[in-house]
Structure 1
């Protein structure tokens, strides 16, 4: 790690500023100092994710080990565990939908390998000098097979399929390290300023990067492990010792500034823990990507993440006030936490979206908001997808979008209906029947064409109700019918369990994946239609025997465009290499997206999966600029995951 030649000058400036601030505080010691922060308790947060992730999470699938979809002995679908609102419920329509949609049968199973074969994992190639120096730091590490394999992948289809089939990874990390605050460690607390310093986690990362530079070791940062871009795969050609730097134990909120409504947080914290801890103090970030249960704050920064409620709270680039990142050149951060600066290009944007290629994000200062006093769900049914998109366009044009608005095409509507839990009330079934009759018979909506938008409003009650009326009035102009709070709420309840369905599909010879893009409003309809047609055509040409499921939804709205998600699944029986077939089809779909004016990615990132299109996406000059930054910040390619470039 390059020494910081300006460290003494930085210390001099810092000391001078502290004296100035202390003088101001002394003058106003009996009044409002202007800086209010909660006390840092300093003990490591007992977060959801343990160091040994395999203790609670699947090693070869999504999410918690005790939570999954299955078809029980009665042939009924259910969702196991107790962690979700859907847990323990029977889903009476799912089996019929599954078998009819994919031509599959619950009698034909393709079970996963029950356990990891540790003997099939390549032996670690350790840099002994690095290991000896690492031992002296007291930073925990492991080179056990399970720990290494768990951090050798994200959640791309080919990665999970390989695990389920017991296939050998070409390359896995040689060891895992955990920057961690030991129990009882205390933050350095500066009462005069109301600020806290975390001496261990950040400093551990500094030590690790210094040692990696000293011994020419490759570091790959690992946050929540939810990547779907091959970003966590180890480059097979890498001959150096590869160390996975797991940030999961860097999980504290260091301080909350209630006057400026910001929080200073360690970057390894996962979304659900961040919200839980902030909620205890009456605050939230409002940043809720679909992966928020397991994805980390540092990962959000590294991928330029987006959350479903960005209309109120913003995307991650809107929420971030300050980033501290450890690079091979030293620690990079701004000297001021003002809301905006005109000091050349924003250095934060070198880190936002850098995907672990420049360094490790250790701490982030981000905006927070008081927990909204009122929340209300809603839904609207439209006669067709075109009407729904036109409505969302008008909502965006009038800048009255609720916290979240999602438009599902008909295929997703049918899918969502199949996930409806069994109800015990005859009256409830009767009411649902009346609604269906009213929409399809009285209003004339074709059940094979209609689409549904789900809505989520947040804020003070009066404003929410006004906002709700405005959105429903716009929807009515495009033939939309209010479909009730329950349907809207159910759509959002399903958000965190949808990912578990891919594992169910693979149990019965069905592979599935999602991918996303963003596009200008005038390209959305053509893009959706053409991509779905291209997927169907490619599947047929490549020998997929049964009609694939291709569906899409518009998940985010902007002034000038929208984010679109595609879902794609097919029955792979009869295919020699289903993963290769899938990747060929997805590659064609991505080319179709780009040809129709869509972006390479809206929020998943590039990783290694999509980097072949980077020059097309940002130009040769743009790629050259990124390479120049990489060459300066990391001349020896210590952060060698080889994403983006």
Structure 2
């Protein structure tokens, strides 16, 4: 019998089709119609961002070309490097799966495919290693078959078949992981099934009184927010990847969103999760806000990265849409002062929905994405520059910018603005306006597209993040930049960038998000190997400074060599004990977190 407090299931029209290649790049980030392009004009070459999906769409970005030349020694007006086309059937090994097994899958009534393109698309996430391999060579191993279950019951049947036949299952959600989590282990000899959850995207019910919703795990962030918004609600969970990442993926990686200060991280939003394991279904038997009933098994599922089972349904908290939403920004004379300000805001618990601080290099990088101004805007920009550098005395090579997002009741937003802007003065900062804050916030969704352009011009780049106690934040940033710079010089890299921003704050610390890239045109060694060497050096320094191996990207395969140092030998043993209990045949052989041969 249906609970009258709960709405009936909502059939969601997904923003991403089942055949992802129709809309999304099969070998890069995001939409096919969204990319940086060079156009020849009467005034010479200019760079544009194509399409109208983002605020900077179809406008000239006059500073981009000069920045690329100065910082990375790249002439974007030259012909880009050619990349491999869509893979043909003969480019990869034929499916390692028998006709008998395919017949059994077919008998379940679940759609499947053994086409190469379907298999390749679900064999990778968005790490540098994966995208570079797609554009220049082959992936080492791809799934042998892709299946598209449409509900929890169909996932149960697939997992039961896989367990009986000793077939590997790797869950695939939005495909946005940057940890190598969905890569197929190259040494795996058993057949591999990629279980694509994209067709499990319904909102099963909404409980308006208790403010929770039950959704299937394959629903994509933008679809979830759109449908909830129609009813006057939001989850408030907005990771950088929310256009493409799935709810199940958020749980599997212990994700964090840009507005976590108001709405919480995924572990704060999660009420209940249903996961299909090789031993059966794991879930709580009652839906309550909290219970003292031994260890919370939700936290075994959170961060499990596909290694214990398939997440099928999630009960998540929702909130009424905020009545007021307002952006803001603050300029500080130095990055260290900005960090001290953020620490004081966190101490007083004044954080708005989002508060992020860009260092000087990232601030300058943001300026290259400003559109070409008209005459009036040029005058305004000139006055702003005069005011900041001459009247305020800020040095262009040291100043940094903070972006703010306020959400809530009108009176609460107004009061929070007054407190934050007033406090900023004590740290040498001043308000830089709402427009700059909105622009800085929205550019987050565009930055990932730059990596694809860079790869065409012998530049490899990747992001990595960490969480760190407040008293070590500034020194960690200095040390990481120093060791990366020293390592680049030792290798012979002359043009590189290493910049960062502080993206989230807590009572006891903050999150620092780095961008690392370099021109490898004059380096003979594999650029991905070199980048891995640089990132390894950076992560070793992060650990030495008291930082974590990850705040929200997860471990996957790329960071598992640091997993034991992070959780101890006993912690690894505890994880493996859960793995043996829930997956005795190791059919979820992702090899994430640890090498999981049991």
**TM-score (structure 2 length as normaliser):** 0.97
- Asked if 1:156 corresponds to 2:127, the answer is yes
Q: State whether structure 2 residue 582 is matched by structure 1 residue 615.
A: no
Query: Is the CA contact 1:410–1:449 (under 8 Å) kept in the aligned structure 2?
Result: yes
**8 Å CA contact retained: 2:86, 2:117:** no
Equivalent residue in structure 1 for 2:523, among 563, 575, 580 = 575
Q: Contact 1:536–1:547 (CA<8 Å) still a contact in 2?
A: no
Shift of 1:257: 0.6
1:194-218 residue CA offsets vs partner (Å, 9 max, x unmatched): xxxxxxx000000000000111100
| Superposition deviation, residue 432 in structure 1 | 1.7
Shift of 1:158: 1.2
In the TM superposition, residue 82 of structure 1 has moved relative to its aligned partner by: 2.2
Give the whole-Å Cα distance in 2 for the aligned partners of 1:129 and 1:353: 35
CA shift digits 1:143-196 (9 cap, x unpaired) = 00000000111111111111111x12221000100012xxxxxxxxxxxxxxxx
CA distance in 1, matches of 2:536, 2:101: 40
Kept in 2: contact 1:130–1:211 (CA 8 A): no
Q: Secondary structure at the match of 1:76?
A: strand
Residue matched to 1:527: 476
How many Å separate the matches in 1 of 2:142 and 2:148? Answer: 17
Q: Does residue 57 of the first structure (1) align with residue 57 of the second (2)?
A: no
Matched position secondary structure for 1:497 = helix
Q: Which string of whole-angstrom CA distances, capped at 9 and with x for unpartnered residues, describes residues 507-553 of structure 1?
A: 21111100000000001001001001111111111121x23111010
Q: Distance in 2 between matches of 1:127 and 1:593?
A: 47
Please show how residues 418-497 of structure 1 align to structure 2 within 5 Å.
Answer: 418-424=368-374, 426-497=375-446
- How many pairs does the alignment contain? 589
- 1:443 Cα offset (Å): 0.8
TM-aligned CA deviation for residue 62 of structure 1: 0.4
* Secondary structure at 1:171 match in 2: coil
CA distance in 1, matches of 2:314, 2:416: 33
Q: Could you tell me how far apart the structure 1 residues matched to 2:470 and 2:261 are?
A: 17
Query: Which residue number corresponds to residue 112 of structure 2?
Result: 141
Alignment gaps of 5+ in structure 1: 1-17, 23-32, 181-200
- In structure 1, the residue corresponding to 2:436 is in which secondary structure? helix
What is the TM-score of this pair, normalised by structure 1?
A: 0.90
Q: Tell which structure's C-alpha radius of gyration is larger.
A: 1
* Deviates further, 64-73 or 447-456: 64-73
Asked if residue 219 in structure 1 is aligned to residue 189 in structure 2, the reply is no
SS of the equivalent of 1:455 reads strand
Q: Which residue of 1 aligns with 2:68?
A: 98
- Aligned mates of 1:487, 1:57 — CA distance in 2: 29
Task: Tell me the residue number matched to 2:354.
Answer: 404
Structure 2 counterpart of 1:230: 180
Alignment partner, residue 87 of structure 1: 57
SS in 2 for 1:527: helix
Tell me the residue number matched to 1:241: 191
* Of 583, 586, 605, the match for 2:535: 586
In structure 1, the residue matched to 2:8 is 39
Deviation of 1:60 after TM superposition, in Å, equals 1.1
CA contact (8 A) 2:88 2:117 kept: no
Tell me the residue number matched to 1:30.
none
CA contact (8 A) 1:130 1:212 kept: no
Residue 83 (structure 2) aligns with: 112
Tell me, yes or no, if the aligned pair for 2:222 and 2:242 is still in contact at 8 Å.
Answer: yes
State the distance in 2 between where 1:423 and 1:284 align. 35
Gapped regions of structure 2 (runs ≥ 5): none
Does the aligned pair in 1 maintain the 2:202–2:215 contact within 8 Å? Answer: yes
Q: CA deviation at 1:108?
A: 5.4
SS at match of 1:148: helix
Corresponding residue for residue 500 of structure 2: 552
Q: Which residue of 2 aligns with 1:562?
A: 510
**CA apart distance, 1:111:** 2.7
Please give the secondary structure, in 2, of the residue aligned with 1:366: strand
